[in-house]
Amino acid sequence: MTKKKIAWVTDSTAFITEELRNHPDVYVVPLSIIFGEDAFEDGITLTTDELYTRIKAEKNIPKTSQPPVGVFAHLFEKLKEEYECAIAVHVSSKLSGTYATSKAGAEMAGLDTYMVDSKSMSYAITSLMYKGMAYADEDMDPQTIAETLNVETAKSQNLVLLGSLEQFYKGGRMSGTSYLLGTILQVKPIICVNSNGEFELCEKVRSEKKALKRVIDIVREKYDMHHIPEIRIMHGNVLEKAQSLQQILEQEFPNVNFVIGEISSTIAVHAGEGTLALIWENE
């Protein structure tokens, strides 16, 4: 049997488009979401709707967990029978241990696997997957594809307006002082995943309206410096807000293509319902 050339592996923090979901060579490994004794697989045994409903009902913030190394090892062993190699594109290694367990699983299985640390999450991973597949269609070799994608991560930009300061704080993503100040002063922090792949506080703004205005100003600054072909608006169960933001951005940037998508349950656990995020590449 002739083996296929490349298997594409990612995790459930990525925004999985219909095209990727139905792609025969794409494999998505789910992270776990844990409520007390109950563990769910992101996007498989727990939808985002179910997550938000359960958080409201239980008032407890669930935990998230990277896939065990054995899950990756089992997948890569299966892929070894069908493919010459794999390219794995994962959530930032500074935000999750998923990259490390994927790498260890591939080594256990003995499949040639080229690792890409997205240094981000959500649609930033999706974008790298699409770029990689385009390079593969041009007959670029797998190692060069992975090396190129690891360089491409530097182009990625994002701005996040959190839906829940409390969830972000309880998930260990924010200092107690920042949380307290944000709660007392009703500050709406604008955060981002920086070039090292870590969460960083970009700015503190006093209201959501001002924060949205500032986000648009920041995009304008980047747009004036770089070519930005596409902006993705990701949201936490607030589609109407995302559509409203798209309408404003379309007037500001008529030459940019826009995509709206929902953040995965794993990200929603930390960012909260009501989150809005913009993700793009400075080409």
DSSP string, 49-80: HHHHHHHHHH-PPPEEEPPPHHHHHHHHHHHH
User: Residue 115 forms beta bridges with which residues?
Assistant: 88
Pick 164 or 47 by higher pLDDT.
47
Share of the chain above pLDDT 70, in %: 92
In 3D space, the residue among 83, 94, 109, 97 whose CA is nearest the CA of residue 25 turns out to be 83
CB of 276 closer than 8 Å to CB of 233: yes
CB of 10 closer than 8 Å to CB of 90: yes
Over residues 94-103, the pLDDT tens digits come to 999 999 999 9
On the question of pLDDT at 24 being above 60, the answer is yes
Same domain, 143 and 180: no
> Which own/partner pairs from 167-175 qualify as long-range (CB within 8 Å, at least 24 positions apart)?
167/55, 167/61, 167/269, 167/270, 167/271, 167/272, 168/270, 168/271, 168/272, 170/61, 171/61, 171/63, 171/64, 171/269, 171/270, 173/199, 173/270, 174/199
Q: What is the mean pLDDT of the chain?
A: 89
Phi-psi region of 215 (alpha: psi -120 to 50; beta: other; left: phi over 0): alpha
Domain of 225, CATH number, reads 3.30.1180.10
CB of 264 closer than 8 Å to CB of 122: yes
Q: pLDDT at position 183, please? A: 53
Same domain, 147 and 163: no
- What would the mean pLDDT of 268-277 be, rounded to a whole number? 88
Same domain, 147 and 15: yes
pTM of the full structure: 0.90
Same domain, 22 and 147: yes
- What would the mean pLDDT of 222-239 be, rounded to a whole number? 94
Domain of 15, CATH number, reads 3.40.50.10170
Same domain, 215 and 187: yes
Q: Which of 153, 173, 206 is the last residue of a domain?
A: 153
The total number of structural domains in the chain stands at 2
| Torsion sign, CA atoms 83, 87, 89, 90 | positive
Q: What six digits make up the tokens of 221?
A: 């600054």
Whole domain around residue 239: which residue ranges?
Answer: 156-281
Q: pLDDT at position 184, please? A: 46
Q: pLDDT at position 169, please? A: 64
Q: How confident is the model at residue 268 (pLDDT cuts 50, 70, 90)?
A: confident
Q: Which of 113, 135, 153 is the last residue of a domain?
A: 153
Q: How confident is the model at residue 213 (pLDDT cuts 50, 70, 90)?
A: very high
Q: Coil, strand, or helix at residue 89?
A: strand
Q: pLDDT at position 170, please? A: 60
Q: Which of 153, 175, 203 is the last residue of a domain?
A: 153
Same domain, 149 and 163: no
Over residues 148-173, the pLDDT tens digits come to 999 999 999 999 998 876 666 665 55
Q: pLDDT at position 217, please? A: 94
On the question of pLDDT at 199 being above 50, the answer is yes
Q: pLDDT at position 205, please? A: 85
The H or E element containing residue 269 is helix 265-271
